[in-house]
Amino acid sequence: MPSIKEIMETMEYGPAPESNTDVKRWLDSHSGGISHFINGKFVAPTGPMTDVINPADDSVIATLAKGTQDDVDAAVKAARAAFSKWSALPGYERAKYLYAIARHVQKRERFLSVLETMDNGKTIRETRDIDIPLVARHFYHHAGWAELLESEYPGFQPVGVCGQVIPWNFPLLMLAWKIAPALAAGNTVVLKPADLTPLTAQAFAEICVDVGLPAGVVNLVHGDGETGSLITGHDDVDKVAFTGSTAVGRMIRKQIAGSGKKLSLELGGKSPFIVFEDADLDAAIEGVVDAVWFNQGEVCCAGTRLIVQEGVAEQFFGKLDARLQKLRIGDPLDKTMDVGAVVSHTQLKRINALVKKGEEEGAVLHQWAAELPKKGSFCAPAFFTGTEPAHTVNETEIFGPIACTMTFRTPSEALEIANHSRYGLSASIWSQNIDRAIEAGAKVKAGIVWINATNLFDAGAAFGGYRESGFGREGAREGLHEYLVATSGKKGKPRSATPLEASVSPNLGKGELPEIDITAKMYIGGKQARADGGQSYNVMGKSGVIGQAALGNRKDVRNAVEAAAKAGGWSGVTAHNRAQILYYLAENMSQRRDEFAALLSASNGSSTKAATAEVEQTIRRCFWYAAQADKFDGAVHATKSKHVTLAMPEAWGVMGIVCPDEVPLLSMMSLILPSVAMGNRAVVIASQAHPLLASRLYQVLETSDVPAGVINLITGERDVLAKTLAEHDEVAALWYCGSNENVKMVEEASIGNLKAVWTDGGFERDWRDDSQGQGREFLRRATQIKTIWLPYGE
């Protein structure tokens, strides 16, 4: 037996297994198969069963049936039937159920931790100290939101029936992230757990029964992707919330395009972990342990691209190798283990194939060198040195305990490497220089930033990404919006799509050229621009043709996007500055109010009184958004002690705006103003029927100090141009006010870079009504929340 002195030197522990007797008993009692939970009842599984495997020893611990169309129909029907009563309950009544769920989770913490470990392979240390406490915290936090909903979210109501699909890496935690906010906001749900890890969801359903949750409020249907797609595509589901891979996220975006379902996507990542040479290197090394080897690296926000400043790189990699060799890998029920089993042999093969690819591409693998357990799907943790940004292992999510490393010389180089990714979920930044760390935090393209920390989660902090990491947020005040819709107003008339004919041939003979070119131009990059194709179209007014507008094409849209991309400085100027320019714009518009009113009357036949009222309201809206430019700001969230957690609304960057024909001046400005007030640069497709207003507008822009490229105005056939905008990867968000059939078209066209698309479903909006045409909702939609965790306090 080793002496205490020897133990202190080797730090060798004996085994410390957590008992799984209770869980085994529970598993025995479910030997008939894991049931769906529909309308408050456990539905005996039917049809062929698949095995649920404990990945740590390959044993079969349960069996599972695949949910069918009938199961999904029954679950959606139950959720719909339960919705009216559940949503009508006072918030404090809903809160009682959520509190009760939280308490029951806490009471069963040990049981749930062991069950999760056996189902997923993750270590008991993590399930016991992280996953399950966070599940309870999520329900407590959202019980509070249920209580406060009416007073904190005036003008909003629940969406309805939510179809939710989750992955296997944090089975119960992802379920909590989905169900808690949905229920708090008054929705009912049909959720599909991952087929590899269905067990804690079954235990959760039992908690729902124990707390007396009304039947149909929570429904669980098990199965694979096919069952998932029956839920996401179901006609009677109003909102889809998905966490999983980017590839499946795209499929779902396509599947439900044009259906009017609200959508949030939490997808993959390949997050940077930047170490500056002034970082506390030992702390950063422990950071890597948490960033990459936590949960076997099966973490969407894992900081797997280690970007280290050259001066300390060698030292850092040496320390990292030494720390890697000290990791303890083995039986995840053993409390002394750092790394457990990856979720399945299939996942292990995938990881190994990517590791092989990394070596083939010339990187050097530094791997944990001891012997892995004989049984189970264990993967030796590792990191690569000598990788290039374009290597497969730097571009592809490995979803295993493998990091890649790169080096940099200057902070700007670090950011260039960090932002060289299709994803944008999270970033970890390590530096003892607060200015440097915060500056990097502001510039890195990620939805979550941890300064001198990594993988911090809390129900009070929004979680979610940019670009191919999806859109929408989970947790905190911001996350609740995913489960609410504005109550305002009735739907207007459906809009129609009208094709356009070019009215002037681009190839006129010399003698045929009109004496003066009266075609209204477009406005791109601060300059008046003719249509690339040289064509125009007739603009019809109340008494026939009132002029010609440029018939823009794809090339014009691309030029405008390029100009908007170059105008990035606008996002960097102070909000005060933006406000001043919008005030100036309002003043200049008011000087031309009569011209605008006359053009409006000529264009759409509105009376002088109505046209003047529209111009007046447009000017007031300019003032309103100018006032909001420096007032619509973020928050400091109360999360864990020792942290200040900032929720910063950030501009998307380049936004596409497709304007409707109704109240054409007011609607166009109601869309442009919130977008640019928040720091976006807009590429605007003006009203197809009333494009001459756009040419009048650029004359105002030219005199109002709006920098070149911030507002670009294109005229032409709305939906041809909208398609190009929706497909363009440089456009981060799109607001589309066109016809119903083309809502589907733009949503489908947006899947390339998974841009956030906001439409009004193809129905006219009452832009004159401030509750529909103006407000914080527009500002919220013009931004996305970046959560920045800063260490603070003792």
**HEC secondary structure over 21-64:** HHHHHHHHHCCCCECEEECCEEECCCCCEEEEEECCCCEEEEEE
Residues that contact ligand NAD, how many (by CB under 6 A): 27
Query: What angle, rounded to 10 degrees, do the helices at 608-628 and 575-591 form?
Result: 160
Nearer to ligand NAD, 270 or 718 (CB): 270
Task: Using DSSP, state whether 494 is helix, strand or coil.
Answer: strand
What minimum distance in Å lies between the beta carbon of 347 and ligand NAD? 8
Note whether 224 binds ligand NAD by CB under 6 A: yes
Note whether 229 binds ligand NAD by CB under 6 A: yes
Instruction: Give exposure, 677-710, as e/b (b: 16+ Cβ within 10 Å).
Output: bbbbbbbbbbbbbbbbbbbbbbebbeebebebbb
Of these residues, 116, 126, 147, 266, which one is catalytic? 266
- List binders of ligand NAD among 140-199 (CB under 6 A): 165-169, 192, 194-195
Stretch that binds ligand NAD, among 221-229, 359-367, 493-501, 537-545 (CB under 6 A): 221-229
Nearer to ligand NAD, 237 or 678 (CB): 237
- Running DSSP on this structure, what letter comes out for residue 575? H
CB contact at 8 A, 447 and 301: no
Note whether 471 binds ligand NAD by CB under 6 A: no
Exactly one of 114, 146, 251, 437 binds ligand NAD (CB under 6 A); that residue is 251
Among residues 204, 138, 202, 126, the alpha carbon closest in space to that of 169 is found at 126
Note whether 786 binds ligand NAD by CB under 6 A: no
Exactly one of 214, 225, 492, 761 binds ligand NAD (CB under 6 A); that residue is 225
**Phi (first) and psi of residue 540, to 5 degrees:** -90, 135
Note whether 690 binds ligand NAD by CB under 6 A: no
Task: Using DSSP, state whether 520 is helix, strand or coil.
Answer: strand
Nearer to ligand NAD, 251 or 285 (CB): 251
Alpha helices in 592-663 (DSSP H): 593-604, 608-628
Write the binding mask 277 to 316 for ligand NAD: x where contact by CB under 6 A, - elsewhere.
-----------------------x----------------
What minimum distance in Å lies between the beta carbon of 177 and ligand NAD? 8
What minimum distance in Å lies between the beta carbon of 465 and ligand NAD? 6
Exactly one of 252, 415, 462, 692 binds ligand NAD (CB under 6 A); that residue is 252
Exactly one of 248, 579, 732, 745 binds ligand NAD (CB under 6 A); that residue is 248
Exactly one of 67, 160, 171, 228 binds ligand NAD (CB under 6 A); that residue is 228
Among residues 138, 80, 132, 95, the alpha carbon closest in space to that of 111 is found at 132
Note whether 400 binds ligand NAD by CB under 6 A: no
Nearer to ligand NAD, 472 or 679 (CB): 472
Residue sitting closest to ligand NAD (CB) = 228
Stretch that binds ligand NAD, among 54-62, 226-234, 703-711, 773-781 (CB under 6 A): 226-234
Exactly one of 91, 171, 268, 649 binds ligand NAD (CB under 6 A); that residue is 268
Instruction: Give exposure, 469-479, as e/b (b: 16+ Cβ within 10 Å).
Output: bbbbbbbbbbb
Note whether 399 binds ligand NAD by CB under 6 A: yes
The tally of CA atoms less than 13 A away on the side-chain side of residue 579 is 11
Active-site annotation holds for 162: no
Angle at 522 between CA 516 and CA 526, to 5 degrees: 115
Of these residues, 300, 379, 622, 659, which one is catalytic? 300
Exactly one of 290, 397, 556, 662 binds ligand NAD (CB under 6 A); that residue is 397
What minimum distance in Å lies between the beta carbon of 51 and ligand NAD? 16
C-alpha 677/C-alpha 699 separation (Å) is 19
Beta-strand pair 544-550/536-541: antiparallel
What minimum distance in Å lies between the beta carbon of 266 and ligand NAD? 3
Integer CA distances (angstroms), 29 to 23, 68, 203, 209, 322, in order? 10, 24, 12, 17, 45
Exactly one of 266, 334, 338, 478 binds ligand NAD (CB under 6 A); that residue is 266
Nearer to ligand NAD, 266 or 532 (CB): 266
Nearer to ligand NAD, 408 or 471 (CB): 471
Q: In DSSP terms, which residues pair with 547 in a beta bridge?
A: 539
Note whether 330 binds ligand NAD by CB under 6 A: no
Exactly one of 67, 269, 332, 441 binds ligand NAD (CB under 6 A); that residue is 269
**Phi (first) and psi of residue 68, to 5 degrees:** -105, 175
C-alpha 527/C-alpha 566 separation (Å) is 14
Note whether 267 binds ligand NAD by CB under 6 A: yes
Please report which helix (H) or strand (E) contains residue 554, including its range: helix 554-566
CB contact at 8 A, 49 and 62: no
Residues near ligand NAD (CB under 6 A): 165-169, 192, 194-195, 224-225, 228-229, 232, 243-245, 248, 251-252, 266-269, 300, 397, 399, 425
| Catalytic positions | 266, 300
